[in-house]
Structure 1
């Protein structure tokens, strides 16, 4: 029924979009970027989806329009380095009309704003490049304000130019302090600005539309997001932890596509024809014609090289070490499905000494809650998922490594699949509710682990930080509510909402898509000569429900509070759901019918006491707390000196303090001191938060039998 309603809405939107297009405002002196009919259609449909199916039950009105305008301007020019006060005054005409414009599919206003931005951006870069070779006095006691976010918009081009001249001076003094010559520094900075102009020239209406929709959906709630076709593809690849292509990481260098890395085991690796440093100058599909891709945007070139498994792509290559004028080599590769193992769950075994006894702790790092949904639906034998990967790791840790405890490291894990969070919880509890979900109608569904048995019943800890979010919070909250383990770290992010991904193409009748895209192209005689690709409309992840823990508390806004608190690298007043103005509030519902595995109250109290005693004597802890305080202070700074001697002195003082701190910590570990410029071996790097977690787990192992 939902799909039928959406299809009908979409159909009406398409028909409306076929009316005479509204005239676009043109900005003189630049190539104006204009919206297309597909984007007009998508804007209309996003309004309809938000008003009819978003959990927040919001009406897109003048108030939303005002928020969108502010967010859009801030996204374009966050530090007020481009727009003039007169531009901002001009944009005020759109403050209460963007809602109506989106509803009508009229995107002329936001594209006009972008084109003004583009004009200012290129003007400032042109001005900066003209003044790179000016004579600067680096002995003056002047400053450069790099963060103008809270300052007034500048009122004249002259003032704007003064800001940019100081920016040039700052970048030159930075290069000068690195020890390179003035001539070399001017060349480096000129090349940097030319590259910025080049990248700006490659922006298209998809980029502008994405930026605009980010501002629009962000005004509704932080997690309703639109993805243009390219971004939607990347999002879904991240969720599945797999891609279909040749197996190579690509980068753009001097307008040429370059192989940065070849994925071991992938088709490019197995072909032995493609190597890091090779440059791709042409792409052809199977027996088709080659397309010259020099100067292409990276995402457009990558889209040509990727493709369904089993299909063939031909590449025109200039091998590494060969001049660009060399005769290219043509290679042929059959695409395959490539699993991104480097972004999957991993294990590590650490040994910690406590009271003269060694304990082995397995650390499982989970970067996200991922699942290859297509492969799972197709019932492929070895489809990729967090739970399947972690289950194999636990089996190895338990049966081969013989660990005494396991820690799940969810730091930086922003969530992902809710079903994976439920299934992963099931590895540690023997059936029962895991999460409650309340929909837009207020109806509550309890989702449970229904698989009998557990993969690990021993001492268990979950390490979290401020960026642990969404599905990660469901998992951590369930472990805490069941008394199945201890939560260690900082208050988590607080994302307690559920998003439904909607492929907008699936809501449209194919005949309408064909009409919209003008699929059949005719030659001068009126005969069909080519069929264009079906236009892709992208994807919206729509907030449709809210998470609740089995104890009835929402994870929204408050997140999960740790049992044992560690210092936070992330500023709590800048990172987290409670810092988002459009975030839904915290609330609670009735708790579900669950039976805790254990009451760890006494154990947690004892663990916290032992932890606090260690922290009183810990040099690592004291230094970390001071580092966080220093970072907070630096984050408040908005300007920097342009006096070479003063800037050099400030940096030398910071370097000396940093080196002293490093050597104090190395001394506590029996390591030799290092001097300025020395490289520290990877094996000597130290993760204090992980180390203290291991010590907490050693205490857990020793105390557990008495609980």
Structure 2
């Protein structure tokens, strides 16, 4: 960084009347931009202004958009800045384009440093409030969602907000049975952790947030990924990494083992267990061990990961040892670890129809993953969502299921080619989706494989978290008449992104510049419509916790508009719409008698009412009455069969996840996994209803399924 840039940065921070700092947060180290960051910003601008699907110049108009996104990223809920801070930012509104083009990031870094300063001030004030005793007899409330409210006008107003925030934190713990001394200790530690995390923020964090504000100003799905974030994205796509096979969590300054991956080096060693704390990491058996106590979790992870078949030395404090205990040195060989938690999984739901039991095979797919590099290199065993689903379908066939339900809820997408290939498992060869690039050229993505891997009854379950590749699959299944689409309207992301490695573009080998995930095209259904903004509308609709387009693509101010192009020639596989009236009628009749489904409707209505209210009472009597009402409701639903763990899972203990004992946190997680999935169960019943109709009427079956012979084979 040049001396000139440093002086500009200091001037923004320290010169009155510009953004003067309070001495309270003076212990925070000043974050400064690095030369490679300015280089990455300039290369990103050159790419975005030329090759983005809706390319726009980097000028004052774009600078204002970047400013709005950046401020929102720094303080979305308006908990830190004052209106006077925003007013003092005024000149920056039209200077962020110059900051990028002139490779001088002093202004955005000054804004980021001020946010850290304000956070330190607010949290330090919160800790001071713990010395006082709150008055819970007052009739007042805490506004817990503040993104639409004005900025606090002055220091008194922001302090009043934090007084209520601390009071709410205190009241939650009080209602959970904690005494005042325990509450003070818990909250002081919590707020101290906020300050600790704030102090650990690095220059690369600040830069990623700023450049991502520019990227998302283009459209909601264009993003900048710093070097570490880019590596994590690659891992999420290939579902593998090289490491020791342990899920780690930060707890009280320690890097703690939360889970051991079966078959990984950590589990196979027999020397590590859940709850053990990693206090040092060394590279190889001869290298010194670096003390990592108090480190950020991602920095510790970076040290533990490495090249396959190399050794990492861990200094480990056992779970049952005191902080003063003696750590044990454990050498582990690094190996390739598969992340099975995000891989496709199968299960079977049995449904009853009179005296008839039907078996519905369920395949849950959290993401459309694909190991691009391994596939490009010709690895026959490359990781692929389609290959995994195809294998699971084969297993379900052997288990003689009557129908298959693909669960794509909260699947945000992934590889476009995987979406096309996976759709091909259920249709004969033909077009699956259309792509239109910035030049208006349309390309058709086809399933080129003849035949069906699964030709029997099919349904796809979606919700508002199903996006992109999930919507391609659901839309194609719907357009082909191949199966039922059940659930909520999907997210509405109809755009295609590509990943650009900035180091390759810049021909830079010394410093990592990160990656740009950029929108380059829009995709369209085979019928010519787009899922953009409108999403996929289910054939049978389930209740939603959100209103209309809330929390969907349509709620993004700079989302691309909905458009339509010419349909392509394709041959529908069936006419599932023929049986929809009957299926809807049976669904309505069944859920009207299903107490669990009715409980769900009650909870959704209550959730919507609370969100509209957007206030929570800080009066102890009122809160106790609300808590007692909730507990009575849960007790009446559970009856006498509710376990102690289930009761604990329903009660608010006022703690954050890392404040609970690890065993309690894991037990609650297990209870949540075991909870009945009402919507999945009802989806299986709907598909079972369809199967019953098809079995009773062979002619109807021949219309709905790809071929009568295929139906016969699947149902035999």
Indicate conservation of the 8 Å contact 1:65/1:99, yes or no: yes
- Tell me what 1:611 maps to: 587
Indicate conservation of the 8 Å contact 1:251/1:258, yes or no: yes
Change (3 A) 1:241 1:100: same
* 1:150 Cα offset (Å): 3.1
Give, in whole Å, the separation in 1 of the partners of 2:70 and 2:478. 40
Give, in whole Å, the separation in 1 of the partners of 2:642 and 2:168. 34
* 1:432 Cα offset (Å): 1.0
Task: Give unpaired runs (5+ residues) of structure 2.
Answer: 14-20, 651-670, 701-716
- Tell me what 1:5 maps to: none
- Tell me what 2:203 maps to: 205
- Tell me what 1:529 maps to: none
1:158-557 correspondence to structure 2 within 5 Å: 158-286=156-284, 287-399=286-398, 401-510=399-508, 513=509, 534-557=510-533
Please state whether the residue corresponding to 1:24 is helix, strand or coil. Answer: helix
- Tell me what 1:579 maps to: 555
Change (3 A) 1:554 1:673: same
Tell me which moved more, 643-652 or 26-35. Answer: 26-35
Tell me which moved more, 222-231 or 292-301. Answer: 292-301
Give, in whole Å, the separation in 2 of the partners of 1:684 and 1:109. 50
1:594 partnered with 2:592? no
Change (3 A) 1:662 1:64: farther
* 1:193 Cα offset (Å): 0.8
Aligned length: 661
- Tell me what 1:698 maps to: 688
Change (3 A) 1:677 1:497: closer
* 1:245 Cα offset (Å): 0.8
TM-score, normalised by the number of residues in structure 1:
0.89
Q: Deviations over 1:42-90 (max 9, x none)?
A: 1111111111000012222322222221222222222222111211110
1:559 partnered with 2:535? yes
Indicate conservation of the 8 Å contact 2:208/2:224, yes or no: yes
Change (3 A) 1:199 1:633: same
* 1:636 Cα offset (Å): 1.9
Give, in whole Å, the separation in 2 of the partners of 1:674 and 1:298. 34
Structure 1 ranges of 4+ moved more than 6 A: 17-20, 673-676, 678-684
Change (3 A) 1:677 1:256: closer
1:24 partnered with 2:8? yes
Please state whether the residue corresponding to 2:9 is helix, strand or coil. Answer: coil
- Tell me what 1:14 maps to: none
C-alpha RMSD of the superposition = 2.2
Give, in whole Å, the separation in 2 of the partners of 1:553 and 1:19. 55
Change (3 A) 1:639 1:56: same
Give, in whole Å, the separation in 2 of the partners of 1:686 and 1:289. 50
Indicate conservation of the 8 Å contact 2:5/2:106, yes or no: no
Please state whether the residue corresponding to 1:316 is helix, strand or coil. Answer: strand
- Tell me what 2:653 maps to: none
Give, in whole Å, the separation in 2 of the partners of 1:679 and 1:582. 39
Indicate conservation of the 8 Å contact 2:366/2:411, yes or no: yes
* 1:684 Cα offset (Å): 7.3
Please state whether the residue corresponding to 2:94 is helix, strand or coil. Answer: coil
Give, in whole Å, the separation in 2 of the partners of 1:149 and 1:426. 43
Task: Give unpaired runs (5+ residues) of structure 1.
Answer: 1-16, 514-533, 664-670
Change (3 A) 1:182 1:679: closer
Change (3 A) 1:432 1:123: same
Give, in whole Å, the separation in 2 of the partners of 1:303 and 1:226. 20
Give, in whole Å, the separation in 2 of the partners of 1:147 and 1:481. 40
The equivalent position to 1:112 in structure 2, one of 110, 113, 117, is: 110
Give, in whole Å, the separation in 2 of the partners of 1:281 and 1:677. 35
Please state whether the residue corresponding to 2:137 is helix, strand or coil. Answer: coil
Change (3 A) 1:22 1:59: farther
- Tell me what 1:666 maps to: none
Change (3 A) 1:322 1:622: closer
Give, in whole Å, the separation in 2 of the partners of 1:430 and 1:18. 62
Please state whether the residue corresponding to 2:166 is helix, strand or coil. Answer: helix
Indicate conservation of the 8 Å contact 2:545/2:608, yes or no: no
Indicate conservation of the 8 Å contact 1:466/1:572, yes or no: no
Please state whether the residue corresponding to 1:25 is helix, strand or coil. Answer: helix
Indicate conservation of the 8 Å contact 1:22/1:106, yes or no: no
TM-score, normalised by the number of residues in structure 2:
0.88
- Tell me what 2:635 maps to: 659
